[in-house]
Amino acid sequence: MLTAHGLACDRGDRRLFSAVDFAVAPGQWLQVEGPNGAGKTSLLRIVAGLAPAADGRIEWEGQPVAEVRDEFHARLLYLGHAPSIKDDLSALENLQTAAAVAGRPLDEHTALTALRRIGLKGREDLPTRVLSQGQKRRVALARLLCSQARLWILDEPFVALDVAAVSQLCEILDEHLTRGGMLLFTSHQAVQLGGTPSSLRLGA
Ligand SMILES: Nc1ncnc2c1ncn2[C@@H]1O[C@H](COP(=O)(O)OP(=O)(O)OP(=O)(O)O)[C@@H](O)[C@H]1O
């Protein structure tokens, strides 16, 4: 279980948000909503340990994250707003490289199966710089299909996806929740998923 208590975030000389509390249990999802600039990305980065909070604390399985950092990071998959893939590498190489960097090497068969399921059949070996924006997003999202992480933190995962890919992604998220996974994500659109929903609104 992931819990946050009294989180606050400062950017420059501005306090973006304060007193943010939430909890995400196995099978639950939390959608962070709010206008542009409200601090949604900032919140996700704080939870993922990529930026410091100005105040508050985050707990993983009842323990302060600071005390179980390695365990927490081993259970976490964070996908940022940008696809964060390497343009000179193919989709297959990107997927295998990301897995290796996370310390969980991925065999070629598993990687190719994930890429094909996410709609990249026939595009697996091309340098990703020639892929469309939506296809690049799909390369990043293929990581979800290879992930054993219990907590997925996804920043705008639906951006640039066509209708079929949105529905595929919902299916993948549903499977994660059915397995007892936890999901924290931002989106400007209404999303229908299984599991137990909750939402958090930042800003006005
Ligand atoms: N390093 C920084 N220095 C100063 N201001 C920053 C920094 N990083 C973010 N900000 C500001 O913090 C605010 C919140 O940014 P953030 O990306 O978290 O918003 P968001 O809610 O995710 O927005 P969007 O819906 O547009 O993606 C913005 O006004 C942004 O300009």
Ligand 1 mean position, distance from CA 12 (Å)? 10
Average of per-residue pLDDT across 9-37: 95
Q: Pick from 42, 47, 156, 201 the residue to mutate for probing ligand 1's pocket: most ligand atoms within 8 Å of its CB.
A: 42
pLDDT per position as a tens digit, 28-60: 999 999 999 999 999 999 999 999 999 999 999
Ligand 1 mean position, distance from CA 48 (Å)? 16
Structure tokens at 38: 């409200």
Percent of the chain with pLDDT over 90: 88
Please give the pLDDT value at position 48.
Answer: 96
Please give the pLDDT value at position 82.
Answer: 81
Task: Please report the atom of ligand 1 found closest to the CA of residue 12.
Answer: 4
* Rg of the chain (C-alpha set): 17
Amino acid at 17: F
A 10 A CB-CB count for 4 gives 22
Q: What mean pLDDT is reported for the chain?
A: 94
Q: Which of 9, 98, 108 is nearest to 53 (CA)?
A: 9
pLDDT per position as a tens digit, 80-95: 988 789 999 999 999 9
List residues near ligand 1 (CB under 6 A).
11-12, 16, 34, 36-42
Please give the pLDDT value at position 58.
Answer: 97
Average of per-residue pLDDT across 157-184: 94
Asked if 126 and 90 count as a contact pair (C-beta separation under 8 A), the reply is: yes
Q: What is the pTM of this model?
A: 0.94
| 130, containing H or E segment | none
Task: Please report the atom of ligand 1 found closest to the CA of residue 203.
Answer: 21
A 10 A CB-CB count for 111 gives 23
- Comparing 184 with 195, the larger pLDDT belongs to 184
Per-residue pLDDT at 77 exceeds 80: yes
Q: Pick from 18, 20, 41, 201 the residue to mutate for probing ligand 1's pocket: most ligand atoms within 8 Å of its CB.
A: 41
Please give the pLDDT value at position 102.
Answer: 84
Asked if 22 and 29 count as a contact pair (C-beta separation under 8 A), the reply is: no
Token pair 């985050």 is found at 58
Angle 163-178/133-145 helices, nearest 10 degrees?
10
Report the greatest alpha carbon distance in the chain. Answer: 50
Task: Please report the atom of ligand 1 found closest to the CA of residue 38.
Answer: 21
Kindly provide the ipTM of the predicted complex, given to two decimals: 0.94
Per-residue pLDDT at 201 exceeds 90: yes
* CA–CA separation, 138 and 149 (whole Å): 18
Please give the pLDDT value at position 55.
Answer: 97
Lowest mean pLDDT among 14-23, 25-34, 77-86, 169-178: 77-86
Ligand 1 mean position, distance from CA 2 (Å)? 23
* CA–CA separation, 83 and 37 (whole Å): 20
Ligand 1 mean position, distance from CA 43 (Å)? 10
Amino acid at 48: A
